[in-house]
Amino acid sequence: MKNYIKSIKNDVINYRRTIHQNPELSYEEKETSNYIANELDKLGITYKRQSDNYGIIAYFNVDNASKTIAFRADMDALPLNEETNVNYSSKKSKCMHACGHDAHTAILLGFAKVLQEFKSELKNNIILVFQPAEEASPNGGAKAIINSGVLDGIDEIYGLHVWPEANVGEVMVKKGAMMANSDHFYVSINGKSSHAAEPHKGIDALSTACNWVSNIQTFISRGLDPFDNAVLTIGTFNSGVRYNVVSELTKIEGTCRTFSSKTRDYLENSLKNSLEALDKAYGTNSVLDYQRGYPALINNDEAVDKVVKAIIKSDLKVVYKDNASTGAEDFAFYLQKYKGAFFFLGTKYSGCFPLHHPKFNIDEDILLNGILVFTNLAFNNANDD
């Protein structure tokens, strides 16, 4: 199989570059979905399209299967102008595969070729999930796939993400919590306008909000166990209409990243209670809209052990991640319902840029690494292992 996988390298690179040149945002992946379907048709692979989104589910069923294993790739892009200057750059303004979903989809298509070529050797049923809208937090595409019931009865599910913090040839794994709960909050602090020369006649929503933003950082530094990791970040702060007018309204947006339900509840309640106290102290009228996004991604220990075996069999290096990432992934929804694991595929090279950067790119050698790991999970994963 390894020689066959090497032989399809150019095909897989072509998959990736075609998708990269034609990116589509979340819930707009019509042409990407059509491209995937066309390639599956060429291979003679059975698949079904999701009725209410652009997801595609491909099936490889065998007689007397030991189990059913699912593999997932996401396909949506981000609203960025690409700055890589490669000859396969995005053809679209403000739309780019800056998170590697083009690579994920190409890997799954390449894996589909392997499965079709060696289907007679399969002992497990395999389901491939080409998922839209991973970037659409809090309502990412995983929810629709799960709710459709197409994965009911599966035994395991696996997914990967290209990772510029790990070197090419490395695959990063972690048992338990690997990625964070990701929540988005909006705050409106309403005061009372007045002339800047007579601030005592108004209620300054700007200075009040500044105090609040500074004080809420103590929720983590003084309210949490030092070993309970969490992040609270304010991303936007907008206030005021003119230099000589006391601001009447401040609007703030931020995010909380946590790894447990207890800490998640604590931060949401602390934000709510602190705004109530602010209003009592300063006379403001504040509103909190706290939106829970993706849950923490919790890997199953046994599934991680299987990933490790697959990495070693692929002649790649296993790297155990010490700390969970504060990033988020809607693959977490699958792991709330099904046994499985998510892992990071190293793509670090000299001069590489981070995920979600307009200059982000990958070393395309890693595409075959992803296929190798998936292949070893599919063909060397029986009930008695």
Q: 2-180+296-379: what fold?
A: Aminopeptidase (3.40.630)
**Residue-by-residue pLDDT tens, the chain, 385 positions:** 999 999 999 999 999 999 999 999 999 999 999 999 999 999 999 999 999 999 999 999 999 999 999 999 999 999 999 999 999 999 999 999 999 999 999 999 999 999 999 999 999 999 999 999 999 998 899 999 999 999 999 999 999 999 999 999 999 999 999 999 999 999 999 999 999 999 999 999 999 999 999 999 999 999 999 989 999 999 999 999 999 999 999 999 999 999 999 999 999 999 999 999 999 999 999 999 999 999 999 999 999 999 999 999 999 999 999 999 999 999 999 999 999 999 999 999 999 999 999 999 999 999 999 999 999 999 987 544 4
Q: 181-292: what fold?
A: Alpha-Beta Plaits (3.30.70)
Query: CA neighbours within 13 Å on the CB side: how many for 266?
Result: 20
Q: Could you write out the DSSP letters of every residue in 40-97? A: HHHHT-EEEE-SSSS-EEEEE--TT-S-EEEEEEE---BS-------TT--SSTT-B-
- Looking at the DSSP assignment, which residues form a beta bridge with residue 291? 184
Q: Cα separation of 55 and 222, whole Å? A: 44
Q: Is there a contact between 75 and 132 (Cβ–Cβ < 8 Å)?
A: yes
| CA 260 vs CA 195, 230, 256, 280, 341: distances in Å | 46, 9, 12, 31, 18
The reported pTM is: 0.93
What ranges do the domains of the chain cover?
2-180+296-379, 181-292
Residue 61: other Cβ atoms inside 10 A: 13
Question: Tokens standing for 352?
Answer: 């590489």
Same topology, domains 2-180+296-379 and 181-292? Answer is no
